[in-house]
Homo-oligomer: A and B are copies of this chain.
Amino acid sequence: MQENDNGVHPLDGALALSPVDLRHWQGQTSAAYANMVGPFGGTTAATLLAAVLGEADVLGEPVAVTVNFAAPVADGPFSVVTRALRTNRSTQHWFVEMIQEEATVASATAVTALRRETWGETDADFPQVPPPGELSPPRPAKRPPWTRHYDMRFVDGDPWGEGTGGPWGEGSGGHPSRSRLWMRDEPPRPLDFLSLTALCDVFLPRIFVRRPRLVPIGTVSMTTYFHATGEDLGAVGSEHVLGVAQANHFGRGYFDQSAEVWAPQGVLLASTHQVVYYKE
């Protein structure tokens, strides 16, 4: 595993939190995951979950996380305040806020649970696509810094492509707003709940593929359901995972997109949804 000079993966650097007091953490944004304005939303989401998972009394593993992006996160320090809303026998409900200058810039709810073996089935379809080794990374382009920390191999729906789909699009496999891409941390890093949470925001906004046009956008709310345990994620290691994302509806300044994240062997790791503001 390639590392920073200090031996820490850049994602772990970005997500590092120091305890300040009971239910109170301190962190700071990382230049490595900078977006056009402020940090990549995936790291903000993962930071809020990191605070919950850092609590000594957290019960089990994450099942559902919703992150609401309330305002632009400024580059620099932030506080994270957690609250255990309810602890049951096998589930726990959390509310988390990221605070800068005494104002909430992001919030999250998380449900964690002790899980156990039951009957199971997957109804979503694992698509047959070429493996990542047969696909090329996107060509270098003017892109925000965070994208350099993900190896992305688009099967289709590459918003930076130069193909037939339009000025920014390569077409999207028959669906007007779909992208299918292999993705992993760059440098490689073993998969866990934090990196998976951030990966759930690596799908580019569907409007870039759909129009295709780069309009101003911002995710306002993002929900992820985890189907895997920490052990399952550990078994994926630092391999690529397959993301399949598509939009449902665009209108009156907001669109929503839904996506699945699959382990290379066809195991569904997470379903993730978000609603995104757009201009024009």
Q: Which residues of A contact B (CB under 8 A)?
A: 63-64, 66, 68, 70-71, 85-86, 88, 91, 93, 95, 97, 103-105, 107, 109, 111, 113, 115-124, 175-177, 206, 210-211, 220-221, 223, 225, 227, 229, 246-254, 256, 258, 260, 268, 271, 273, 275, 277-280
User: Closest B-chain residue to A93, C-beta based?
Assistant: B70
- B-chain residues with CB within 8 Å of residue A248 when the two chains form the complex: 122-124, 225, 227, 260, 268, 271
- B-chain residues with CB within 8 Å of residue A97 when the two chains form the complex: 85
- B-chain residues with CB within 8 Å of residue A71 when the two chains form the complex: 86, 88
Q: How far is the CB of A94 from chain B (nearest CB, A)?
A: 9
Q: Judging by beta carbons under 8 Å apart, are B256 and A271 in contact?
A: yes
Chain A facing B: main interface SS: strand
- B-chain residues with CB within 8 Å of residue A251 when the two chains form the complex: 118, 120-122, 227
Q: How far is the CB of A185 from chain B (nearest CB, A)?
A: 23
A113: contacting residue among B63, B103, B223, B253, CB under 8 A: B253
Q: CA A223 – CA B258 in complex, angstroms? A: 12
Q: Judging by beta carbons under 8 Å apart, are B111 and A249 in contact?
A: no
Q: How far is the CB of A29 from chain B (nearest CB, A)?
A: 18
Sample of 19 more A-B contacts, CB < 8 Å, known A91-B277, A120-B251: A63-B220, A64-B221, A66-B66, A66-B68, A68-B93, A71-B86, A111-B220, A113-B277, A118-B278, A119-B211, A120-B249, A121-B176, A121-B249, A121-B250, A122-B248, A122-B249, A123-B247, A221-B223, A227-B252
